[in-house]
Amino acid sequence: MKQIIWSNDSFMDDKARVYYQNFQREQLEDDSYMVSDEEWGEEVSSWLDDERFNLDKEVDGVIIAFGDLGLWRGRRQGYQILGSNIADILHSSCDDCEWYGDSYNIRGRMSHHDGTNYVLYRVAKSREDAERIADKIYNLEIDEKGFRKLTRSLYPYVANVYGWKVRGRRPA
């Protein structure tokens, strides 16, 4: 089951936009108020800031991201060592982003002009472990399955913030 943390699909959510516009009309006491595209974009982006605030929690270990990257020269794998704060996962320079839980892991999908990046966020025991794992990813010595075996899920930390159920461990 996909549990959305944040998605900029809200930019296209007409119901949410109308609800916001009606709320603003009441607040401003102006029935002719129309929300601009720029204002709506800022409002949806502020929701991402809210999620960063919600996820401003430390984990026991270091968060590392395994990426299946869509690049102009084809698909490649990559990594990023993020640190120990969950909110650090909620950053991207891509055009279209979403972060979600899949009942076992925390994942991200980020689209850009060359393709789509699929990211799996997990926790390594220490910075040194994260760097060793990153070397294995860089040298193509492990794939996502191997990455999952060397790390533990970030999902329970995020589930604790949102009150999601935590299921048993998924087989690697």
Q: How many CA atoms lie within 13 A of 43 on its CB side?
A: 19
Find the distance separating the first CA and the last CA of the chain, reported in whole Å.
18
How much is the pTM? Answer: 0.84
- For residues 11 and 41, the answer to whether their CB atoms sit within 8 Å is yes
Higher-scoring residue by pLDDT: 55, 165? 55
Q: What are phi and psi of 95, to 5 degrees?
A: -75, -35
Q: What is the pLDDT of residues 109-126, one digit of tens each?
A: 999 888 999 999 999 999
More confident residue, 42 or 87: 87
Residue 94 predicted with pLDDT over 90: no
Give per-residue pLDDT as tens, 147-163. 999 999 999 999 999 99
In the prediction, which pLDDT does 171 show?
A: 47
